[in-house]
Amino acid sequence: MSITMIWGFFLLLALAVPVGYAMLGGVGAALFFEGKSLAVIMQRLYTPTQSFPMLAIPFFIMAGSLMMSGKFGVYLVNIARLLVGNFKGGLGQVSIIGSVMFGGVSGSAVADATALGTALIPVQLREGYPKGFAAAINSASSTVSVLIPPSIPLILYGLVSNVSIIDLFIAGILPGLLLGFGMFIAVWLVARARNLPRAPLEGGFKAFKHQIIVAMPALLMPVFVIGTLRFGIATPTEVSVMAVAYALIVSALIYHDLSWKTLWSSTTQTAMMTGAVMLIIMASSVMQWLLTAERVPQNLALWVTAYFSEPWMIILAMNVVMLIVGAFLDLPAAVLLLGPLFVVIGGAIGLDPVQLGLMMVVNLSIGLYTPPVGTTLFISAAIARTGIGSVIRSLMPFYLVALAVLMLISYVPALTIY
């Protein structure tokens, strides 16, 4: 049965069917050929939608959308320019620092790539940046957002692996900063080689002080999220609702940029993103149930541990599989599909599930700027109005940085386990 489902899934993917529908098609193939009960399948589709922690996803999306739809995006870019604008390739560095700060608001690489790319890429092109390099910076640096809390992929991994979302959030901070720092160095080296200009913001400390003051209410959101979770004041779902309320208050009473149009736009954007994610969650839930019923994860774990003699070899094999899958599946779908399988394999070799979660998210995030799916890659190339080939050539230093950080996370548990 599982073979029928998997073949059906990959056949539909090859025909360019969206991932969620391809999963349902694979389940449908198994249902048709194996005679499984439709009532049981429908129950399995419905069950994951009743998860209370799942509510954190739309509320965090909504909070990020509200914060970035107004003046905060401008303040964020200005602060980043004041911090790193004096470096060679300052506008490229702004994109990376902006992603670190943006990640604490949205938790979405796609939202990051769209918002910051629209603001920064046209300015970078006017300053003489090659189109491919400007798009490469934006597509790669936006993936830092999926590690800095609140991270939607980490929430999904926590739900499918029964790992504490709070622990995952805290563990994601250091790898996220490490990835951002590595990309910072990569941009600086390329900027020196190409003699790209600096981009300081005029006004010096006086301007910095003003920008910090006006942006502080929004910049405090990630501190509020982590602090509330760390000290057990509220659950992730409760914090996500509080984050929306916080975003509404800041937009309406401090920035005075909340309008009915903005509220409607944020609501519809949240609904569409949530709908896409929930479809994948529902379909993957059925696939996981069918695979578990046939003991596929357990048999796979036994085969892997018997075939590979050392844990480091198993970890390397898992990374290779995730790199391949991440190039063909969107990040949420890949996390939901591989998470339950790899948790069993990781448990067989004593790999901490929090460390595995960070490995998985870093690994699969590389797929966001890797063809043929490459969501942030295509978004950035479209904004820069350039071909994919030139962007990929400029992405090589970022691939090296991401792979180096991935190896550190995979083999140095101290980076993710506290």
The answer to the question of residue 390 being in a domain is yes
Amino acid at 8: G
Distance (Å, whole) CA 362 – CA 330: 13
Tell me whether residue 204 is exposed, middle or buried, using C-beta atoms within 10 angstroms of its C-beta: 0 to 12, 13 to 18, 19 or more: exposed
Estimate the share of the chain in helix, then strand, then coil, as percent rounded to the nearest 5: 80, 0, 20
The answer to the question of residue 274 being in a domain is yes
Instruction: For helices 260-293 and 56-68, give the axis angle rounded to 10 degrees.
Output: 150
Q: What is the pLDDT of residues 1-31, one digit of tens each?
A: 567 777 777 777 777 777 777 877 777 777 6
Identify which of 41, 179, 216 has the alpha carbon closest to the alpha carbon of residue 97: 179
Query: CA Rg, the chain, in Å?
Result: 21
Task: Please give the pLDDT value at position 130.
Answer: 92
> Are 301 and 348 a contacting pair, CB within 8 Å?
yes
How many CB atoms within 10 Å of residue 76? 26
Range of the domain at 382: 37-415
The answer to the question of residue 324 being in a domain is yes
Distance (Å, whole) CA 401 – CA 143: 12
The answer to the question of residue 286 being in a domain is yes
The answer to the question of residue 7 being in a domain is no
The answer to the question of residue 62 being in a domain is yes
**Domain count along the chain:** 1
How many CB atoms within 10 Å of residue 299? 12
> Are 414 and 354 a contacting pair, CB within 8 Å?
no
CA distances from 260 to 180, 241, 256, 273 (A): 35, 20, 12, 20
DSSP letters of 51-89? Answer: -SGGGHHHHHHHHHHHHHTTTHHHHHHHHHHHHHTTSTT
CA distances from 70 to 65, 263, 349 (A): 9, 11, 48
The answer to the question of residue 28 being in a domain is no
Specify the 3-state DSSP secondary structure of 320.
helix
Task: Please give the pLDDT value at position 374.
Answer: 84
DSSP letters of 371-397? Answer: TTT-HHHHHHHHHHT--HHHHHHHTHH
Enumerate residue ranges in the chain where pLDDT < 70. Answer: 1-2, 31-40, 70, 73, 85, 103-107, 200-208, 296-298, 418
Task: Please give the pLDDT value at position 1.
Answer: 55
The answer to the question of residue 365 being in a domain is yes
DSSP letters of 359-376? Answer: HHHHHHHHGGGSTTT-HH
Task: Please give the pLDDT value at position 254.
Answer: 83
Residue 139 φ/ψ, nearest 5 degrees: -70, -35
CA distances from 208 to 91, 184, 220, 277 (A): 16, 21, 17, 39
